[in-house]
Amino acid sequence: MGVINGGFGGRHGSSDPRLPPGQTHVYDWPVLSTGPTPNVDEGRWSFTITTEDEVAHRWNWSEFQEVGVEDIVTDIHCVTHWSKLDMAWRGVPIDRLFEDVETSYDYVMVRSYGGYTTNLPLEDLLDGQAWLATEAEGEPLTPEHGGPARLLVPHLYFWKSAKWIRGMEMMPLDDPGFWEQNGYHLRGDPWREERYW
């Protein structure tokens, strides 16, 4: 719109080429969630993928540990305008969890303990793009950051990286999840600034 705020210098903290438009580099790790932090202990944690055949692929915590983890270094981008660069994560690749899953559906509803949901195209979760993360910066994920396990989809805005994940349900259409029903974009690509709709 061509407005210039003449007195605004700015720290040019958004000049790093790794930062998508409208994002600012932060060094702390802000917490955002919609309600109380659920207490999910590893003993009662499980993760289930459900398909149109109602076949459930389910892992409890110890079975999940056997799937095999990867170390990832990646940037994360929150729709509230902060990005955190070069974060060290450890998690199970979603590709591994889908190895035995047969589905003709293209979309996934992610479900969390506490009731949170978010929708993604399956193709945003495969091919080395997404993990179920259990550690960040060398420590187990704390409950407020989604522990014991959260989704990690760093190429989309971070509300897609659901905390306290408990399952994925395949769906034929891209039905909106929690924030997507509340004004946020269906896909959320930070490089296209797909924040709101």
Of the two residues 59 and 112, which places its CB atom closer to another protein in the complex? 112
Q: How far is the CB of 103 from another protein (least distance, A)?
A: 16
Cα Rg, the chain, nearest whole Å: 17
Q: How far is the CB of 174 from another protein (least distance, A)?
A: 5
Q: Are strands 139-140 and 82-93 parallel, antiparallel or unpaired?
A: unpaired
In the chain, what is the straight-line distance between the N-terminal and C-terminal CA atoms, in Å? 19
Distance from chain centroid for Cα 92? 13
* Spatial distance between the Cα atoms of 131 and 94, rounded to a whole number of angstroms: 5
Of the two residues 96 and 176, which places its CB atom closer to another protein in the complex? 176
Of the two residues 31 and 55, which places its CB atom closer to another protein in the complex? 31
For residue 134, give the 3-state DSSP assignment: strand
Q: Do residues 152 and 159 touch, judged by C-beta distance below 8 A?
A: no
Of the two residues 53 and 144, which places its CB atom closer to another protein in the complex? 144
Q: How far is the CB of 115 from another protein (least distance, A)?
A: 7
* Spatial distance between the Cα atoms of 171 and 123, rounded to a whole number of angstroms: 13
Which residues of this chain interact with another protein, rule CB under 8 A? 1, 3-15, 21-22, 24, 30-38, 78-82, 106, 114-115, 121, 123, 144, 159, 173-174, 176, 178-179, 181-187, 196-197
Q: How far is the CB of 4 from another protein (least distance, A)?
A: 5
